[in-house]
Amino acid sequence: MRMISLGKTGLLVTSTAMGCLPVQRCDEDYAVKLLRAAYEGSINYFDTANAYTDSEKKIGLALSDVRDKIIISTKSAAKDREGVLSHIENSLRMMKTDYIDLFQFHQVTEVPDPNDPNGAFAGALEAKRRGWIGHIGVTSHRVNVAEDCIASGLFETLQFPFSYISSDRDLALADKCREADMGYIAMKGLAGGMLTNARACHAFMKSHDNVVPIWGIQKMEELEQWLSLAREDPDMDEELAAFIRRERQELSGSFCRSCGYCMPCPAGIEIYNCARMNMLLRRSPWQQYMTDQWREKMEKINDCIGCRSCASRCPYQLDTPNLLKYMLKDYREFYEAHKYLL
């Protein structure tokens, strides 16, 4: 498998890497088998987070005996020194290791203050002094914050949503990281499940040779698909480029990336799924969204109190309340047109 250097860290990671958020949804035995199969399929980079419930524990169970042959990154959203140290210490314990290759500040909304002795950055520096972590990176969903993080010179890597429907400004982050000798880790390469042509996604990532995609993998068949593409390693060709152009046109505009910054909703609306329901219905098996449970979730949109806190927090400047209203209308129409097939 091709290898990519994560900027100035010097860490060499496989060009197909594994995002371990989804393994928290697998039972323990299956998760261990899945992670081990990824390693045996030549993946050497596994990305997780303190917030991903038992993901770290499963990594420890599956891969602690090959720790010297893999690279692990994890994350913490703690805002102070002691919180960061506590999270890192717990991560070490869960993953049965005495060091973490890359620690990342999780979903930051501003650059952590490096001068605050009690702040999160001070915690990361202390963990590095203790030998608990090797390198310090950052993740965000907000392009202006990501740009500030790159310009700060504080971080060795950036993790950011990156796919072929990303905006030009978002895509430019990869070049900014190259110029700063920072590693670039691409999350949400499938745009929250909206992109279904894995070959196009792989070829797109390959066309940015400093970008390391972490594919969220939950099933063996998904793993085999990515491993098969890694072995074939297809380049971008005109057919794939034309497909991507059509996708970008279809998915441009008011498209919810399901980043979750809009949550929690005071009215209890599951915004990050409801706000992209039209695409879920048309780009994945629609029957799963016709259950009584999903109909209840969608009808919950009627409880919107108009506070617009979701819109104020959206990093993509979506008019979320009106988008939700449109999704409910579209959902009802789709249900009426398809209910006879249920």
Distance CA 50, CA 34 (A): 20
Residue 73: per-residue pLDDT: 98
Q: With contact defined as beta carbons under 8 Å apart, do 298 and 245 qualify?
A: no
Largest Cα separation within the chain, whole Å, is: 64
Rounded Cα gap, residues 43 and 20, in angstroms:
12
> Which pLDDT belongs to residue 256?
86
**∠ Cα 335 338 342 (to 5°):** 100
- How confident is the model at residue 155, as a pLDDT? 98
How far apart, in whole angstroms, are the C-alpha atoms of residue 70 and residue 46? 8
Kindly tell me the burial class for residue 335, based on how many C-beta atoms sit within 10 Å of its own C-beta (0-12, 13-18, 19 or more).
middle
Query: Can you name the residues that pair with 192 across neighbouring β-strands?
Result: none
Q: Which residue stretches of the chain have pLDDT < 50?
A: none
What is the rounded radius of gyration, in angstroms, for the C-alpha atoms of the chain? 20
Contacts of 249 (CB under 8 A, 6+ apart): none
The whole-number pLDDT of residue 243 equals 97
Of 103, 26, 105, the C-alpha closest to 58 is: 26
Pairing of strands 12-14, 183-187: unpaired
User: pLDDT of 276-316, one tens digit each?
Assistant: 998 888 877 899 999 999 999 999 999 999 999 999 999 88
CB 42 within 8 A of CB 239: no
What is the predicted pLDDT for the residue at 253? 65
Residue 158 β-bridge partners: 138, 184
The pLDDT value recorded for residue 251 is 79
pTM of the model: 0.88
